[in-house]
């Protein structure tokens, strides 16, 4: 950690935002719709809940310019707040829409049953799908996909299809997020501690995730308040926003870390989603050269300055970030925002592989009243 020492971070730890594994086990972090689909790089809903409760009241309008898997949107709707989310990735927007819209559980259940009854089809496919799926798995996914056409529950069906497709890839069980080449032969599985065979079918995943989705949507339906949500598939630098945003709670991408399009490649291939990876800020493919980091900072400044212009009087911004390059003081100043507080939270590491001290910070920002803000206007 450059600059900021561990002792300094410890001194600013907010214990209400730091949980041990036993205080906040995985099943809590992935409650109801938060586990509708895996997504690398989300923050825990409990963190968002505390941040929203601290500063905003039911009826507030909350915005997340980097909505990702929709954690902010879901938590806002449960607390009776209206929500707007923006993301440049089409798949993330689809996921946000399914997670945060008012669910029609009965319709989802019957449409999923119809999709599960579709026979497998052997149809022309893409090179990528051919490489990553056994023929049987591909045909089962293609059969289910036929049910999407004209379905009133198309988004829900698409998410179940995508989740099953993720599990049915020819990847080792222990490397669902990291595999670079398909496995075609039996392999030693570090997860199950035995020899496993490459996946050859998708039907059992489709069945399992269809049932799980219905259960999770029903749980969420009982908690969700009657509020408005909109999901905008756009670049947060120039997305069309309404005025009167009361608060922002977000976790931005960070330079060179996560590839937000490629991690869901199967969904783009199967659903024919539009690829806008060229607009990703801090894209993994750009790396962390000085030039890439400077472009990242310029991009985040644009997003925050654009967002600031749509804040209601008294509105505030919470940014959750591991700012190890210490970029955010300058980003905030350039975006016309003033740093009100910088608190730290101790992030629990779940596995030995990524063990070690890890901190995130929550930056609370408000529009600056200074000349710098006027200049950034």
Ligand X SMILES: C[S@@+](CC[C@H](N)C(=O)[O-])C[C@H]1O[C@@H](n2cnc3c(N)ncnc32)[C@H](O)[C@@H]1O
For residues 196-235, which are near ligand X according to CB under 6 A?
Answer: 235
* 360 contacts ligand X (rule: CB under 6 A): no
Q: Smallest distance from the beta carbon of 161 to ligand X, in angstroms?
A: 20
Q: At what angle do helices 203-223 and 105-116 cross, to 10 degrees?
A: 180
Segment contacting ligand X (CB under 6 A): 88-96, 98-106, 177-185, 187-195?
A: 88-96
For residues 36-75, which are near ligand X according to CB under 6 A?
Answer: 39, 41-43, 66, 68-69, 71
* 86 contacts ligand X (rule: CB under 6 A): yes
Distance CA 62, CA 26 (A): 26
Residue with nearest beta carbon to ligand X:
68
* 87 contacts ligand X (rule: CB under 6 A): yes
Q: Smallest distance from the beta carbon of 311 to ligand X, in angstroms?
A: 18
Distance CA 298, CA 329 (A): 13
Q: Smallest distance from the beta carbon of 48 to ligand X, in angstroms?
A: 8
- Residue closer to ligand X (CB basis): 39 or 133: 39
Among 75, 280, 360, 361, binds ligand X (CB under 6 A): 280
259: nearest Cα among 279, 273, 280, 235: 280
**Site size for ligand X (CB under 6 A):** 23
Secondary structure of residue 65 in the 3-state scheme: coil
Q: Where are the beta strands (DSSP E) in the chain?
A: 61-64, 82-87, 187-189, 194-196, 229-233, 245-250, 311-321, 337-346, 359-367
Distance CA 173, CA 199 (A): 9
- Residue closer to ligand X (CB basis): 88 or 116: 88
- Residue closer to ligand X (CB basis): 66 or 133: 66
Q: What is the DSSP string of 240-271?
A: ---S-EEEEEE----TTS--TTGGGHHHHHHH
The values of phi and psi at residue 225, to 5°, are -90, 165
Residues lying near ligand X in the complex (CB under 6 A): 39, 41-43, 66, 68-69, 71, 86-89, 92, 235-237, 251-253, 260, 279-281
């Amino acid at each position: 950690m450059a600059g900021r020492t561990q002792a300094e971070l410890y001194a600013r730890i907010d214990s209400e935002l730091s949980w041990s594994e036993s205080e906040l086990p995985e099943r809590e972090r992935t409650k109801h719709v938060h586990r509708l689909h895996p997504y690398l790089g989300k923050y825990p809903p409990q963190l968002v809940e505390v941040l929203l409760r601290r500063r905003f009241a039911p009826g507030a309008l909350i915005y997340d310019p980097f909505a990702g898997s929709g954690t902010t949107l879901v938590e806002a709707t449960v607390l009776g707040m209206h929500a707007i989310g923006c993301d440049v990735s089409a798949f993330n927007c689809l996921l946000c829409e399914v997670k945060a819209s008012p669910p029609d559980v009965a319709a989802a259940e019957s449409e999923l049953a119809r999709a599960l009854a579709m026979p497998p089809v052997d149809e022309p496919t893409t090179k990528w799908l051919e490489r990553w799926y056994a023929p049987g798995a591909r045909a089962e996914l293609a059969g289910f996909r036929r049910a999407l056409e004209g379905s009133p529950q198309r988004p829900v069906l698409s998410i179940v299809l995508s989740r099953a497709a993720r599990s049915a890839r020819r990847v080792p069980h222990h490397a669902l997020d990291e595999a670079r080449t398909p496995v075609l032969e039996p392999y030693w599985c570090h997860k199950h501690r035995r020899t496993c065979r490459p996946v050859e079918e998708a039907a059992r995943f489709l069945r399992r995730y269809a049932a799980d989705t219905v259960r999770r949507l029903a749980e969420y339906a009982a908690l969700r308040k009657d509020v408005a949500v909109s999901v905008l598939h756009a670049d947060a630098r120039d997305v069309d926003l309404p005025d009167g945003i009361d608060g922002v709670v977000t976790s931005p991408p960070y330079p060179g870390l996560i590839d937000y399009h490629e991690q869901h490649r199967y969904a783009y291939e199967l659903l024919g989603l539009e690829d806008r990876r060229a607009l990703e800020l801090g894209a993994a493919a750009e790396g962390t050269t000085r030039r890439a980091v400077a472009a990242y900072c310029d991009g985040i400044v644009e997003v925050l300055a654009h967002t600031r212009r749509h804040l209601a009087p008294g509105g505030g911004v919470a940014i959750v970030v591991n700012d190890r390059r210490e970029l955010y003081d300058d980003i905030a100043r350039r975006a016309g925002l003033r740093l009100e507080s910088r608190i730290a939270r101790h992030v629990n590491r779940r596995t030995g592989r990524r063990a070690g001290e890890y901190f995130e910070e929550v930056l609370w920002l408000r529009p600056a009243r200074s000349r710098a803000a006027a200049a950034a206007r």
